[in-house]
Amino acid sequence: MQLKPDSLIKELQERGMRVTPQRAIIFEAIEKLNGHITAEEIFQEVQHINPYISLATVYRTLELLQDMELVTPTNLGGSQTYFAMKDHGPHHHLVCQNCGSIEEFSDALLENLRDRLVQDYHFLAQINHMSIFGTCGHCANPDSPNGE
């Protein structure tokens, strides 16, 4: 289920938040771009509609959406933070430090880790959207046809 910009607006209204024209435009850009996006990509999209919306406004809106748990940030390498809508589903990333390829993996793989952290350390981990850096199969074994 993909949230539509009007769903984001409705969500803000239900929580008693103001829906400014700037926020509505930013929500529209987020929906249009979809997937893992940066604040800068959202800003570039917003500039086509309203060049008076600042990058700071985009960041404040993303911060609000994070506080409302509607977007999750992640680091996919480099200096930029990427954001995904919460309805993108719980998932994580394998990032190759050699070629830069990114592969998603299921949140279910981390259940044992969460359980062990609680059992061994009495620690409730908030593993919502993370990246693991390493070397992909192709880079590790370039002579293998499947990279395995």
Dump the DSSP string for 69-106.
TSEEEEE-SSS-EEEEEGGG-SEEEEEETTT--EEEEE
Instruction: Answer yes or no: do 58 and 115 share one domain.
Output: no
Q: Give pTM, 2 decimals.
A: 0.68
Answer yes or no: is 148 within a domain. Answer: no
Answer yes or no: is 63 within a domain. Answer: yes
Helix, strand, coil in percent for the chain, rounding step 5:
45, 20, 35
Check which CATH number belongs to the domain holding 118 and give it. Answer: 3.30.1490.190
pLDDT attached to residue 27: 86
Instruction: Answer yes or no: do 95 and 61 share one domain.
Output: no
| Domain range enclosing 36 | 5-71
Of 36, 71, 106, the one marking the end of a domain is: 71
pLDDT tens string 45-73: 999 999 999 999 999 999 998 888 888 88
Phi and psi angles of residue 103, each rounded to the nearest 5 degrees, phi first = -125, 135
